[in-house]
Structure 1
């Protein structure tokens, strides 16, 4: 009995490792599909409610239009904020370089040579190359978006059919568990996005208000940046906390204001991200904080920035599936911090 349990655990671990390896090497194919499934889980209740009133075709069209409008609005706001920051950096390149050189000289007097390498390699040409690289990435993002859109259209159109096929499986127990797991995964995804969006809006407004209070240039762009990056748990808040003091240093040319900015931004991130957001999400997600951090690091390594965004939803989906099947319930109990709930 004990040997059988060890074999069972080993097989689960090996399966997970093989799946993760496949996700890494098949990123170009699997990544847009997973992102599309995430969108479908969130948008499906809207289509289901609409198709009872206006028919399946019109419901699909309206759902796609609403989803595309939300995505386009978010993307446009992010592009506006990014353009404001890039323009400001471009206009202040010489000032940034002068401050780096002055800071290097001051640090060298105290036997600190960290910025010497940076000042030697920082120049306007390097900044222009970076901007061009970002522009090339935009083309890749647009191609990715088209692929995701095709998957979403096909997926929303086939959701009813796929559900019926799962319900018709010979193994009715597995069929029932898969349908329940799919429903619960959708509920958790929507809860997760609701909490993240509320936290992102609160973070963006707080950063904008704090930046205006500190009389920082581009307070609106900083608010947009904080709003968008907050969708990347931990990573986004770290980027905002690190970059705002640097911009404050360039603008004011002293260490006092950047230090105050660092303290203020850290307080905002801790209050919203570490206290209010977990309170709002409550036990609805039932996932342990170490697993959240591990998921973000793992999927960032596998898929980059989009992996950081999808890390927690993928962990939630896996936990929900583990909860529904007896052979893997012990994994859900461990990884959910003892708060796993089943329905």
Structure 2
């Protein structure tokens, strides 16, 4: 075995070991990743508040804003899913009859699995699913409590860590790490700003489309589309599939469900594939393959949270790769080379 093959084999083994460690120790690493992501978003606010307020008071205000934002988002999601979930439970028998009829039709055309699915589609199954969602929500709240603690400690030590990096490392290495961190934070803030604006636009259009078609819970579908749009690919797919399935039950017409599904996909395509890339700018440009891979890979490693944070992690990796000559080719292939970026970190 030549040296190049040996290096490749060792790299593969190290990558597998790293992924396994991240998955096994998700309770440790996932909150740290979430905390670093939030610190990158809120550090400019913390730094500006410290100019005319005591550091601890500024920190308390920033943490309060983070908690308020989290409560608002989770409350919106819980309201939207809760209202629709209660409706499905209340009319479970009717929905089961409609979907059983559809399953019989599909079974007559050779899709046997639909019959097995319809057999288990009942109110009890829905109640168990909702209980599972509630338990998952409680786990998520515990997770974010740990994240907030990490954020609080991280904001206190951000400036100290930067000074320690400059003292411990050579100038070019320290500058590459600190500049890479600043540029990553700038890109993540732009990413979240663009994603929030596009999510609001998506939610508003989904609400309007649902109103036009007379679909029940139009506002709730808009809220669900808004919250799920923060997860690329997977979120928009679920946000179009759920109201389309509900439309099939409400109207009892496959044509109406297909029409609503098509309209929702047009909204997602125009915003996600045409408007958002132009608003985000070249600095956040990544190949669609890499975006999709990031979502599925990190969802495999860390579940739903991984699907949310997968693209920011990839942005960070590409940005730091661009800071070092030996890895710059990775950023040039999959992302935006530093030499062609006009954006500067704030």
Task: Please say whether Structure 1 and Structure 2 have the same fold, judged by a TM-score greater than 0.5.
Answer: yes
Q: Which residue of 1 aligns with 2:308?
A: 309
Paired residues of 1:323 and 1:340 also in contact (CA < 8 A): no
Paired residues of 2:322 and 2:337 also in contact (CA < 8 A): no
Q: CA deviation at 1:13?
A: 6.0
Higher RCO (CA < 8 A, seq sep 6+): 2
Q: Which residue of 1 aligns with 2:67?
A: 68
Cα distance change, pair 151–341 in 1 and its aligned pair in 2 (3 A): farther
Higher alpha-carbon deviation: 91-100 or 280-289: 280-289
Q: Deviations over 1:192-225 (max 9, x none)?
A: 1011101100100000000000000000110000
Q: CA deviation at 1:250?
A: 0.4
SS of residue paired to 2:286: coil
Aligned ranges for residues 25-64 of structure 1 at < 5 Å? Answer: 25-64=24-63
Q: CA deviation at 1:115?
A: 2.3
SS of residue paired to 2:168: coil
Higher alpha-carbon deviation: 200-209 or 66-75: 66-75
1:191 matched to 2:198: no
- How many Å separate the matches in 2 of 1:267 and 1:291? 23
Cα distance change, pair 36–170 in 1 and its aligned pair in 2 (3 A): closer
Aligned residue pairs, count: 341
- How many Å separate the matches in 2 of 1:9 and 1:338? 25
- How many Å separate the matches in 1 of 2:339 and 2:122? 53
Q: CA deviation at 1:167?
A: 1.6
1:205 matched to 2:198: no
Q: Which residue of 1 aligns with 2:216?
A: 217
Q: Deviations over 1:128-161 (max 9, x none)?
A: 1111111211221121111111101100111111
Q: CA deviation at 1:190?
A: 0.2
Q: Which residue of 2 aligns with 1:239?
A: 238
Paired residues of 2:22 and 2:301 also in contact (CA < 8 A): yes
Cα distance change, pair 184–157 in 1 and its aligned pair in 2 (3 A): same
User: Which stretches in structure 1 are left out of the alignment for 5+ residues?
Assistant: none
Q: Deviations over 1:265-314 (max 9, x none)?
A: 11001000111111111212132222111111111111111111111100
User: Which stretches in structure 2 are left out of the alignment for 5+ residues?
Assistant: none
Q: CA deviation at 1:226?
A: 0.2
- How many Å separate the matches in 1 of 2:59 and 2:207? 37
Cα distance change, pair 130–338 in 1 and its aligned pair in 2 (3 A): same
SS of residue paired to 2:215: coil
Q: Which residue of 1 aligns with 2:76?
A: 77
Q: Which residue of 1 aligns with 2:176?
A: 177
Cα distance change, pair 64–119 in 1 and its aligned pair in 2 (3 A): same
Q: CA deviation at 1:68?
A: 1.2
Q: Which residue of 1 aligns with 2:92?
A: 93
Q: Which residue of 2 aligns with 1:128?
A: 127
- How many Å separate the matches in 1 of 2:57 and 2:126? 47
- How many Å separate the matches in 2 of 1:43 and 1:128? 39
Q: CA deviation at 1:255?
A: 1.3
Q: Which residue of 2 aligns with 1:285?
A: 284
- How many Å separate the matches in 2 of 1:110 and 1:289? 35
Q: Which residue of 1 aligns with 2:147?
A: 148
Q: CA deviation at 1:9?
A: 7.2
- How many Å separate the matches in 1 of 2:324 and 2:128? 52
RMSD: 2.1
Cα distance change, pair 280–8 in 1 and its aligned pair in 2 (3 A): farther
Higher alpha-carbon deviation: 55-64 or 262-271: 55-64
Cα distance change, pair 26–111 in 1 and its aligned pair in 2 (3 A): closer
- How many Å separate the matches in 1 of 2:271 and 2:173? 40
Higher alpha-carbon deviation: 13-22 or 70-79: 13-22
Q: CA deviation at 1:36?
A: 0.6
